[in-house]
């Protein structure tokens, strides 16, 4: 329809100009002598150009000008409408193609019709342009699901629907989540994982320690209760979760209730992630006794100082320069956690003299063996110090 309209307007304008051109041509005398193709072409062009000039030089009435302008504007409008229509048609065709790809991929997963219907509802609410992305990426799935829960009000959903969504996450291969893929939501955590908790998130602590994740549902999740008084409802807590082989995650969650040996918490997708090669590091000043381990047995024993600390290792000042990969045993007191004895570490690199003092050499060391329990204490200490520093910085 739009193509016919545009063509009709164009045909009317060009036909009028050409009709005027034919009248001018009929009034001219034919040139003498045999016709020549080149000169005829030039003459034809000149006649046509002259007809255009005559048309432009005519004294047209206001009404005629209005008609011409209106026709021109209608032509432009028709072209614009046609382009919009064509663009929307292309978008719709691409969207249809995307949905056909989605349907084909879903068939290979052998999802039930109920699961497919549920997945499409989540897609509709999220407004994703590429439907297949929700079954390819756990990050896209969780983001779309968060939008779905916000729009549909998760608290008004039936338990059976939420159970179906939880099962859908497993069928798509997004639970349990591979350690090669980072967490983007607390709904991706697994029951039994350990986390460090400080309650409340700001102000003097009433509870702090390591606890296990007890339960994981779509509406909420829970951790084992810490010793101490009941945690009031709506209290914000600070959580630190170390995922071996991945990263350190820190975030805030709000208490829904504290009962039956567990603290029930709200879900969040606002996770701060620090890769384990980029552990959160704090400055400290802790005396340390260092024992060098040689192939033949115990080597030198000397005193030093730990000057920075993270969940992956330390920075230390030692009175001697040790080779890279040297193995050491450390003994020191971790404030608030007691003595740490025979912690096995390995020298990663030697930074050089501290403040240009040749008798104070900076070494970077990393944990050398399975020191999971000690590492948890160190991470908890770093977590506490980081929180205290943050509180001091922000008053």
Cα(325)–Cα(344) distance, rounded to whole angstroms? 12
> Mean pLDDT over residues 80-85, rounded?
89
Per-residue pLDDT tens over the stretch 278-289: 677 889 999 999
pLDDT band per the 50, 70, 90 thresholds, residue 383: confident
Residue closest to 226 by CA, chosen among 208, 242, 205: 208
Per-residue pLDDT tens over the stretch 18-41: 445 444 545 454 454 544 544 555
- The tokens describing 365, both together, are 């060391």
Residue 74 CB contacts under 8 Å (≥ 6 apart), including other chains: 9
> Mean pLDDT over residues 109-138, rounded?
88
**pTM passes above 0.75:** no
Cα(211)–Cα(264) distance, rounded to whole angstroms? 13
- 171-176, Cβ contacts within 8 angstroms, sequence gap of 24 or more: 171/109, 171/111, 171/115, 172/109, 172/135, 172/138, 172/141, 174/138, 174/141, 174/142
What number of helices (H) and strands (E) belong to the chain?
A: 7, 13
> What dihedral angle (degrees, nearest 10) is formed by the CA atoms of 197, 203, 205, 208?
10
For residue 8, pLDDT over 60 is answered with no
Residue 151: its pLDDT value, please? 93
Q: Which domains does the chain have, with CATH numbers?
A: 2-82 (no CATH), 113-171 (no CATH), 191-278 (2.30.110.10), 282-392 (2.40.10.220)
Cα(126)–Cα(151) distance, rounded to whole angstroms? 9
């Amino acid at each position: 329809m739009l193509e016919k309209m545009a063509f009709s307007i164009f045909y009317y304008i060009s036909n009028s100009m050409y009709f005027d051109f034919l009248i001018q041509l009929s009034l001219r005398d034919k040139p003498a002598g045999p016709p020549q193709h080149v000169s005829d072409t030039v003459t034809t062009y000149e006649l046509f150009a002259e007809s255009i000039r005559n048309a432009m030089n005519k004294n047209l009435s206001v009404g005629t000008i209005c008609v011409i302008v209106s026709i021109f504007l209608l032509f432009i409008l028709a072209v614009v409408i046609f382009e919009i229509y064509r663009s929307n048609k292309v978008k719709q065709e691409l969207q249809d193609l995307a949905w056909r790809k989605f349907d084909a991929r879903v068939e290979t997963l052998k999802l039930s019709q109920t699961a497919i219907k549920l997945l499409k509802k989540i897609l509709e609410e999220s407004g994703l342009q590429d439907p297949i992305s929700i079954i390819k990426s756990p990050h896209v799935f969780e983001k779309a699901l968060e939008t779905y829960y916000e729009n549909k009000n998760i608290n008004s959903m039936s338990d059976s629907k939420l159970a179906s969504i939880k099962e859908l996450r497993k069928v798509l291969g997004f639970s349990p989540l591979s350690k090669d893929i980072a967490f983007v939501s607390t709904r991706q955590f697994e029951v039994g994982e350990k986390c460090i908790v400080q309650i409340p998130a700001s102000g003097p602590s009433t509870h702090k320690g390591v606890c296990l994740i007890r339960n994981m549902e779509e509406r909420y999740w829970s951790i084992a209760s810490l010793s101490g008084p009941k945690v009031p409802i709506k209290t914000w807590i600070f959580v630190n979760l170390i995922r071996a082989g991945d990263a350190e995650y820190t975030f805030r969650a709000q208490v829904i209730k504290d009962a039956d040996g567990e603290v029930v918490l709200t879900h969040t997708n606002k996770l701060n992630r620090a890769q384990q090669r980029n552990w959160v590091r704090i400055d400290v000043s802790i005396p340390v006794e260092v024992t060098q381990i040689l192939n033949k047995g115990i080597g030198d024993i000397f005193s030093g100082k730990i000057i920075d600390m993270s969940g992956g290792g330390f920075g230390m000042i030692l009175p001697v320069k040790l080779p890279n990969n040297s193995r050491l045993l450390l003994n020191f007191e971790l404030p608030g956690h007691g003595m740490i004895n025979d912690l096995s570490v390995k020298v990663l690199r030697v930074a050089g003299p501290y403040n240009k003092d040749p008798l104070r050499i900076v070494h970077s060391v990393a944990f050398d063996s399975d020191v999971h329990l000690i590492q948890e204490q160190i991470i908890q200490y770093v977590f506490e110090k980081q929180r205290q520093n943050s509180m001091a910085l922000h008053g």
